[in-house]
Chain A
């Protein structure tokens, strides 16, 4: 089912508002940068879900079983309460991928289309981040989440505040949660499966 069809069938949206709703969603990411981010970095001493930080070391285990690392811009994925000092020892973070760099690996014919899909959040594993505060157009890669010491991240936040480039607004945060939940959730359609 396509977006317009789904909206037209939805009984929960007032009939007279359906056209506006579709138009609003269809024009994403236009104006996204106006409401996705908070005007300032949230609470300088706290880590908040969705915060974007520059130059953070992360690593992955590759095919040969060895660890490969590098410094990335990351988005904090843990819930804000779990990232409070004295809570969990590690926080979850996902790398932020530069759209310009990523599309370099596509051929010219498909690179623009690929970038547009990401910008419209049409790919489940990417959350689009419009350019701001020195960050070019980018996306959070939900499929490459890693863990980082919570103490280390707090130290970065307090001692290197310039590394903290963006926080999500309340509306942006909701949008982020929707994408994140649909990335991880699988909606079951057959109750009998869970009853077994």
Chain B
């Protein structure tokens, strides 16, 4: 079954967060990591096809000549992208928690640097 438009769109948007992760992983600092270069290319195709040239019918994605990959392949690639997003979130995102103490520290820090204009 073809993925719905919102689903594909959501995956494609997630892809945007993945580009630099892939690029970073390919960079010298982690050059031993074997992330297939083609994944970057295919992810770009997913983004392009989804946001650019593809046509929509109702709530379903109507893949036609503009689709560069058949759906099963696309789905597989989307799963790869999802895995990268999840991995990236763990590796790079860090905690979003803000304790009352930390908020107070930031307030004190900035107030020590600022004066009323």
Listed in ascending order, the chain A residues whose CB lies under 8 Å from chain B are: 1-3, 6-7, 10-14, 17, 20-21, 24-25, 31, 35, 59-60, 62, 66-70, 72, 95, 97, 101-102, 105-106, 117, 121-126, 141, 143-144, 170-171, 174-175, 177-179, 181-183, 185, 187-188, 191, 194-195
B20 contacts A178, C-beta separation under 8 Å:
yes
Other-chain residue from A1, A31, A105, A194 in contact with B90 (beta carbon distance below 8 A): A1
> In the bound complex, do residue B113 and residue A174 qualify as a contact, i.e. CB atoms below 8 Å apart?
no
- Is B34's CB within 8 Å of the partner chain A? yes
Size of B's binding interface in residues, CB under 8 A:
51
Q: Which of B20, B34, B93 contacts A174 (CB 8 A)?
A: B20
B residues lining the A interface (CB < 8 Å): 4, 6-7, 9-10, 14, 16-17, 20-21, 23-25, 27-30, 32-36, 39, 59, 80, 83-96, 98, 105-106, 108-111, 113-117
Give CA–CA (A194, B13) in the complex, Å. 12
Contact status of A174 and B91, CB under 8 A, knowing A70-B115, A124-B96:
no
Q: Given that A68-B114, A70-B114 are known contacts, is A194 also in contact with B32, CB under 8 Å in the complex? A: no
A-B pair number, CB within 8 angstroms: 146
Query: Does A60 contact B110, Cβ atoms closer than 8 Å?
Result: yes
